[in-house]
Structure 1
Amino acid sequence: MPEVSALGAWITLAVTIAVAVVVLEGVRRLLAGRLSAKWPPVGAAARRCAAPAFTFAVVVATTAALPYQFLPDGAVAPVRQALRIATIGAATWLVLRISYALTDPALDRLTRIEGERNRRARRARTQMLLLRRISAAVITVLAVGTALFTFPAVRALGAGVLASAGVAGLVVGIAARPALGNLFAGLQLAFSDALRLDDVVVVEGEWGRVEELTLSYVVVHLWDERRLILPVSYFTEKPFENWTRRTSRVLGTVILHVDWSVPVEELRAELYRALRDNPLWDQRDWVLQVTDVLENGMVQLRALMSAPDSASAWDLRCDIREHLVGYIRDHYPQALPRLRAELPGPELAGAGTR
């Protein structure tokens, strides 16, 4: 009879796990199938949360239906402890996946916003990502602490730690000062609007775009595909250039050194024609000016043009520089850069040969 009872208990465990899995699979198919056609984010969230949800369901069903009375005497306590930790881990995994699944659609919408609203969208995206990382870190720390406190020895140790919380807090604060400094620096950057994702910055003499902003470091994607990784505290302690803090629009500059004989009015008209035909120009600002007279007998021309963002401004500058160089070479070759030198006259030349 005890053998039949043991067999029935294990069959009950298997049926309980199977029922939990089948019910959860039905809910997943409903969310990812019919409801996904009306609300696509619901289907995406169901697909992302499937693995932790199934894990949590299996662990909870096992905890509820496991026949502890048929386990060996020395195995009951370890199995209970393992199931407690597994439940905490699966619940933490599920909560994190749900939070990420709920915030990802909003982040995707913010990524697609262009134009004048892009700056505010990048600010909101940066803040949401940082808050999500902070929430995930807090949830993980709480889960680890809860799992540790399921051990009696750790609970006893925790009482002693609480009794000396002042000294322990001082020691931990001194040891974690760099990490805490980076944490507060990241929050300061995000909520003071000093730095956002996709901002164009010049750091350490390098031009690039902010690719990743975490609580401990910032990744700058440089123009030549390199990545410059800096601690977050760098941006609160040292100066840096932010080209897109107020607006994404950027003014590009093209400098030309040409001969005095260059026809400035014709070149100005050609600049406007080239800009008008170039899709990278935002059709707002442009000018061509003589900005300097150089000692080597040439003049300096500066062409200014506006673009919707820094990447477009770089390409527009290259296009216009190439066009103007070719236009001067083909139509006004006498205006190409040349060096002038004063040679000695015939009298001086003859005197030198005597």
Structure 2
Amino acid sequence: MHASGTAAVNGPFRTGYRRLVGFGIEVLRGQAQVDFLPSALTGVVFSVALFAAGWEFGLYGLTGTAVGTATARLLGADRDRITAGLEGFNSCLVAVGCAVFLGPHHPSTAVLALTGSAVVTILTGAAARILATWDLPTFTLPFCLTASAMTIAAPGFQRVWHQDAGPATLSRPAAGPTALTVTDLWHAFFANIGQIFFMPQWYVGLIFLLGIFLACRRAGVLACVGSAVGILTAWALGAPAEQVAEGTMGYNAVLAAMALCGVFLVADVWSLAYAVIGAAAATALSPALAALFAPSGGHTFTWPFVLVSLAFLAAAPAFPRLRRVTG
């Protein structure tokens, strides 16, 4: 009787434990999916990187991803997408973006991060249905829409906008020296990867890069290629060395290079060349969008990556040498 009673208690406990562990894995995969990687271990490394930048950013990242994943579960989203972490990466970016642009210590920021993480999950469903018409992925479009709306609207609400919001600033005109020092180069190389999560510290970008290589060496190489292309393009066009070094000019190039070679297009010499062109285009588009959003208080976020990658993927069927990844 005692044994059967214990088994009856342990059964639900084990089931609950397995569900909790499964949910944790989905959350970690959601963080890794910011860089197209369905790896829980990479998600752990990405969390370490965010916590290295500041405990608040690590907490916001995990919480936002968890809220987005939980919202998708509650609304009955496709189970395969949830398991792969595809319902968590946009909410991760929304939450971390709130912390960076609105200040992590304000209660209003926490409320907006939680709300935005849930709302962006709904926008993901809407974007997925619309873009499926052309067989295109959502990328970080739901995040861009949510974050742009929040940052543009924030100054209109006194309980939301704070003058000490954080280190993020509006785009500024090209000014200052353009010559890159050796220090600028290696800082930019790693910062380009960290800035995908809004983190300008080179050592944080290095941790992110290690996490990418841990999941997929090819993805790590493509991230390096994208970072190098972003630096070269920004320098060639005369971007200020300070902006290049802090990674704000090159992070969209990293995402574009990874997306267009190996993730959505079969990796070969043709898609590599296509990805390099896309990475350069995303870099060149960044100042244009910064100037467009600046008067309204918005930011570029990953808009250059989204717009360039959608256009390049939509064009890919016109070029027989480029093959879409299937399955």
Scaled to the shorter chain, the TM-score interval is: under 0.3
Higher percent of residues as strand: 1
Higher RCO, 1 vs 2 (CA within 8 Å, ≥6 residues apart):
2
Higher helix share: 2
* TM-score under structure 1 length normalisation: 0.22
